[in-house]
Amino acid sequence: MVVSIKKETDEVQLQNLVEWLKSLNLEIHRSEGEFETVHGLVGGSLARALSESGKHEIYGFDINRSSILAAKLVGAIKDELNEKTISECDIIFVALYPKDTVEYICNHAPLIKKGAIVADCGGVKRTVCDPCDSPQRRYGQQNSGKVGFIMKTVRVSASKEYDVIIGSGIINSLGENCVELFGKCRAIVITDSNVAPLWLDKAVSSLKAAGIDVVSFVFPAGEESKNKETLFEILEFMAENRLTRTDFAVALGGGVTGDITGLAFSLYLRGIGFVQVPTTLLAAVDSSVGGKTAVNLTAGKNLMGVFAQPSLVLCDTNTLGTLSEDVFADGMAEVIKYGVIFDKELFDNVKNGISDILEDIIARCVELKRDVVAKDEFDKGDRQLLNFGHTMAHSIEKCSNFEISHGKAVAIGMVIAAKASYTLGWSEENCTEEIIEANKNNNLPCECNYSPEELFDAALSDKKRAGDTITFVVPKKTGECILKKISVNVLKEIAKLK
């Protein structure tokens, strides 16, 4: 066996590992600095380069399952490293805090195939908490002092101030955080039928452990549930359970759960406390922050809603680890969108698939949304920049009878908007190709089969239309967008340029 050890590995731990390996009569090769390009993420450039060489089957292990998912998505690894796959693989990347890497390798050594390469590539960008520091008190033993642990907080300042906390494993701190905000009261956790079997127990246990009395409400997963019937069922359930104004609601799920719970909490007793626990990437980077809530009406999407900010957003990135690749990709469309609108560096970090720590990417998106919401909470000006790609996206969703998801529709809508903006002479640079590449590298589509007439017709019923004009988001170049009022006739031209 060859063991490559990264130079950041703690010297004492390294010695222990070397001694232990020597005792097993194995060949040891130290390749200091060799993995300089790996950023503490299993899906880093090394894994990707090796997978592209096609000579190895690569499996990854990381404490954060969303990193594994991201790595799989960009084709950097074949699958997660587990008890079964470990015995099959040729190269093993372990991205853990050094002492845990030693423990991990010791525990798994009997299973590792003879001749396999084990590479420790953890810890480069990861923020490692001091085991005795306050995070241990705040987030519990499980997330501190044991493994590398990332936690970021973004403070949002709108009509209400609140924190967006992003980190792996922090669902266990939900109860503590809520008690700080609301005291020991009652809570209703609202979630959908897909999320309930995966994450409801964890959320409820944390709330109960903190002394909060909990009831939960589960509705059938899917956009079809985002309607007035589900909304009224939730309201009736809250009333049956005698929730009072001092109690609060938790939205545990994706954008559908967040939007519907957000509206329910603001209507029940004219408003109770509200916490968002986003479990999709889309909800984490977009819908859980900024206070837009809504349900769909027969005539269209999101037609009934209010602006109502939550008291806390707690995003446990481990929950993203149970998402399908498809739903994860939907969120990437929104991440790419933030990059094109505001931040070229963010765009560059995701255009070839995620090449940074997922928590950093989510936090950056939340910061960008925070800034725009602080300027224009009620969507009268700059907040409309967030609609980049959305005019055509809404048409595509509508034409597909909502078979095409919001994220995929936004991906296609961004391509159409960039192409049209350049062709019509509104952009300084043509960013169409860059967006197409970014979409492809993130498992997102770039075109649709609907005719310009179908798209235009659907766009006419867009709720963002004001009389004969529509506000269109134009990319001047990647990282900078502007708002442009255009007439519906021009929109017709845009649909033709698709």
Ligand X SMILES: NC(=O)c1ccc[n+]([C@@H]2O[C@H](COP(=O)([O-])OP(=O)(O)OC[C@H]3O[C@@H](n4cnc5c(N)ncnc54)[C@H](O)[C@@H]3O)[C@@H](O)[C@H]2O)c1
The CB-of-257 to ligand X minimum distance in angstroms stands at 5
Minimum gap (Å) between residue 495 Cβ and ligand X: 22
Task: Tell which one of 80, 176, 330, 359 touches ligand X (CB under 6 A).
Answer: 330
| Smallest distance, ligand X to C-beta of residue 310, A | 11
To ligand X, the closest distance from the beta carbon of 223 in angstroms equals 5
Minimum CB–partner distance for residue 334 and ligand X (Å): 7
Ranges of H-type helices in 276-405: 281-282, 325-342, 344-350, 358-375, 390-399
Find the shortest distance in angstroms from Cβ 251 to ligand X: 10
Backbone angles phi, psi at 432, to 5 degrees: -60, -50
Residue 412, both tokens: 């296609």
Q: Mention every residue, 6+ apart, whose C-beta is less than 8 A from residue 401.
A: none
Closer of 296 and 355 to ligand X (Cβ): 296
For residues 383 and 341, what is the distance between their CA atoms, to the nearest angstrom? 11
| Shortest distance in whole angstroms from residue 351 CB to ligand X | 21
CB atoms < 10 A from the CB of 19, how many? 9
Asked if residue 122 binds ligand X (CB under 6 A), the reply is no
The answer to whether 329 contacts ligand X (rule: CB under 6 A) is no
Structure tokens at 150: 């990332």
- Indicate whether 371 belongs to the interface with ligand X (CB under 6 A): no
Which two tokens mark 301?
A: 């999407």
Candidates 327, 340, 404, 411: give the one binding ligand X (CB under 6 A). 327
Cα–Cα nearest to 50, from 4, 12, 17: 4
Does residue 194 belong to the site contacting ligand X (CB under 6 A)?
Answer: yes
- Please identify the residue of the shown chain whose CB is closest to the bound ligand X: 255
* Contacting ligand X within 150-169 (CB under 6 A): none
State yes or no: residue 292 binds ligand X (CB under 6 A).
Answer: yes
Among candidates 84, 112, 123, 108, which has minimal Cα distance to 5? 123
| Selected binder of ligand X within 286, 343, 359, 462 (CB under 6 A) | 286
Minimum CB separation of residue 303 from ligand X in Å reads 11
Q: Which residues pair with 313 in a beta bridge?
A: 164, 276
Single out the segment in contact with ligand X by CB under 6 A; choices: 3-11, 27-35, 254-262, 267-275: 254-262
Decide whether 21 or 354 has the Cβ nearer to ligand X: 354
The answer to whether the beta carbons of residues 481 and 388 sit under 8 Å apart is yes
| Binding of ligand X by 462 (CB under 6 A) | no
Residue placing its CB nearer to ligand X in the complex, 196 or 494: 196
Q: Which of residues 196-215 bind ligand X (CB under 6 A)?
A: 198
- Would you state the structure tokens that stand for residue 197, as one six-digit string? 């079997």
Applying CB under 6 A, the site for ligand X has a residue count of 29
Q: Which of 290, 310, 353, 413 binds ligand X (CB under 6 A)?
A: 290
Q: Which long-range contacts (CB under 8 A, 24 or more apart) does 31-37 make?
A: 31/4, 31/5, 32/5, 32/6, 32/7, 33/6, 33/7, 34/4, 34/6, 35/4, 35/6, 35/119, 35/121
Q: Select the span of 191-199, 201-209, 370-378, 448-456 touching ligand X (CB under 6 A).
A: 191-199
**Binding of residue 309 to ligand X (CB under 6 A):** no
Query: How many CA within 13 A on the CB side of residue 258?
Result: 30
Report whether 278 contacts 307 (CB < 8 A).
no
Q: Can you give 146-188 as a three-state secondary structure string? A: CCCCCEEEEEEECCCEEEEEEECCHHHHHHHHHHHHHCCCEEE
Task: Please tell me the distance from the alpha carbon of residue 148 to that of residue 132, in angstroms, as a whole number.
Answer: 14
- Measured distance CA(52)–CA(45) in Å, rounded: 10
| Residue from 4, 67, 172, 257 in contact with ligand X (CB under 6 A) | 257
Query: Can residue 304 be called a binding residue for ligand X (CB under 6 A)?
Result: no
> Shortest distance, CB of residue 66 to ligand X, whole angstroms?
9
Nearer to ligand X, 14 or 282 (CB): 282
Shortest Cβ 363–ligand X spacing (Å): 17
- If one asks whether residue 421 binds ligand X (CB under 6 A), the answer comes out as no
Asked if residue 254 binds ligand X (CB under 6 A), the reply is yes
The angle at the Cα of 428, spanning 426 to 434, to the nearest 5 degrees, equals 105
Interacting residue with ligand X among 48, 108, 406, 498 (CB under 6 A): 406
Binding positions for ligand X, 214-253, rule CB under 6 A: 221-223, 226, 253
Tokens 């300084």 found at: 428
Torsion angle, CA of 86/88/93/97, rounded to 10 degrees? Answer: 10
Computed from CA positions of residues 457, 463, 466, 472, in that sequence, does the dihedral angle turn out positive or negative?
Answer: negative
Is the CB of 3 or the CB of 314 nearer to ligand X?
314
Torsion over CA: 477, 481, 482, 486 (sign): positive
Separation of alpha carbons 239 and 463, rounded Å: 32
Nearer to ligand X, 12 or 306 (CB): 306
Which residues of this chain interact with ligand X, rule CB under 6 A? 192, 194-195, 198, 221-223, 226, 253-257, 259, 279-280, 282-283, 286-287, 290, 292, 302, 319, 322-323, 327, 330, 406
